[in-house]
Amino acid sequence: MMTDLKAMGERAAAVKLTLQELTTEEKNRALMTAAGFLVDRQEEILRANETDMDTAEQNGMSPGMLDRLKLDGPRIEAMAEGLRQIAALPDCVGECMEEWERPNGLKIRKVRVPLGVIGIIYEARPNVTADAFGLCFKTGNAVILKGGSDALHSNAAIVKVLREALQQSGIPEDVVQLIEDTNRAVTSAFMKLNEWIDVLIPRGSAGLIRHVMENSTIPVIETGTGNCHVYVDRDADLDMAVQIVYNAKTQRIGVCNACESLVVHSAVKEAFLPALKEALAEKQVELRGDERVRQTLKDCTPATPEDYGKEYLDYILSIRTVDSLDEAIAHINRYNTKHSDCIVTENREAAEKFLNLVDASCVYWNASTRFTDGFEFGFGAEIGISTQKLHARGPMGLRELTSYKYKIFGNGQVRG
């Protein structure tokens, strides 16, 4: 029998008003209770996770994927700690964003409100389940989750515990619901549930995100893919450039804010590339360069045009030589994913031009692209990193899970 999505949508809609009327204290207490429940009931969650792990191993899941799927005591404690941190953050719902008065006496107040009902489609990480619930709940949103089928038992156990915690807090448990049906038709129908869901956020691989973008009729926030560049300018501090590229490339490779491509000014390539190569050799990073790069680094792999568009998520770095800042900007705007790009230079004018003209959510002057992150930005939380321009761009924290409404105060005004 197919999941009754319409009924789930109706249940989510039915709790919207209650959610909006909860005080900050009530929400925070419920988040702390939920954190406690996760820790106290971890055996039940770990048992469910073992079922998922067994099936995944039998199905030959890769070690990397198995690691993402696996839960243990410390990971459950981390999930609980995530909820406690969200409880500690300020509540942005209800804040007055702007207020003005019109000549006719109408007072207009722009007020932050929840988005309403958020749908999250994600893959094998069960920690997303608690995390997404916490962020949506704190911002007064109901959430309907559709996790990967590999993590079904884990997700179901986590949601069961969260719902029981809500019930104990006197809050309707339907503020978080999980679609447990793994039928693909259900996911397709979920993406067309416009009547009930205000926003859909996919979290996961580039393929998942593209699939949701192409098939959802609900407004989507595109997250994720990062083909991030570091441009080493002719006026760069080359020691700093080595450190920044080394950090952005190797500090963590499987993440969207890692550097995938280096653009280097021809005037410094001879001085810079050998030093960089030596640093990256420590992590056995494979370099793929254009012809001029290979004149400097004899044993470098040739780069194809496909290399420049690729998010490797691996110990590989493409390198392109340019003769000017303009050429660097044009190259980056052609190949980037509008995520994060950096210029290393001591020249303020060059930096300003780069920051103005490179089309990305985050543009860096002399710092690693790895800082594109809700926590590093000081948001205290992160639901994802938006690579689109509508609504939210870059790291999305609590505020990015809200909308606004205008409250208009009159005393009988009519339009003439």
Q: Where on the chain is the footprint of its own copies (CB under 8 A)? A: 16-17, 20-21, 100, 102, 106, 108, 115-116, 194, 198-199, 213-214, 217, 219-222, 237, 240, 243-244, 246-248, 251, 329, 333, 355-357, 359-368, 370-371, 376-378, 388-391, 393-394, 403-415
Contacting residues for 130 by C-beta, under 8 A, at least 6 apart: 34, 38, 79, 80, 82, 83, 158, 162
- DSSP letters, 205-238, are -HHHHHHHHHH--S-B--B----EEEEE-TT--H
74 vs 412, which CB is nearer to its own copies? 412
Structure tokens at 241: 């450039």
- Least Å distance between CB 364 and its own copies? 5
Alpha helices in 113-237 (DSSP H): 127-138, 152-168, 184-190, 206-215
- Least Å distance between CB 223 and its own copies? 13
- Least Å distance between CB 81 and its own copies? 20
29 vs 110, which CB is nearer to its own copies? 110
47 vs 283, which CB is nearer to its own copies? 283
- Least Å distance between CB 416 and its own copies? 8
Structure tokens at 12: 């989510």
* H or E stretch at 384: strand 384-386
- Least Å distance between CB 368 and its own copies? 5
Please give the Cα distance from 96 to 217 (Å, whole number): 31
86 vs 259, which CB is nearer to its own copies? 259
74 vs 378, which CB is nearer to its own copies? 378
- Least Å distance between CB 247 and its own copies? 4
- Least Å distance between CB 97 and its own copies? 11
Contacting residues for 385 by C-beta, under 8 A, at least 6 apart: 223, 224, 226, 256, 257, 339, 361, 372, 373, 374, 394, 395, 396
- Least Å distance between CB 392 and its own copies? 8
* Residue 353 · residue 385 · CB < 8 Å: no
Contacting residues for 389 by C-beta, under 8 A, at least 6 apart: 338
Please give the Cα distance from 341 to 29 (Å, whole number): 40
36 vs 371, which CB is nearer to its own copies? 371
72 vs 326, which CB is nearer to its own copies? 326
324 vs 333, which CB is nearer to its own copies? 333
Please give the Cα distance from 329 to 131 (Å, whole number): 37
User: Which residue is it, tokens 């280096």?
Assistant: 262
243 vs 301, which CB is nearer to its own copies? 243
- Least Å distance between CB 138 and its own copies? 17
Report the half-sphere exposure of 91 (CA within 13 A, side-chain side). 21
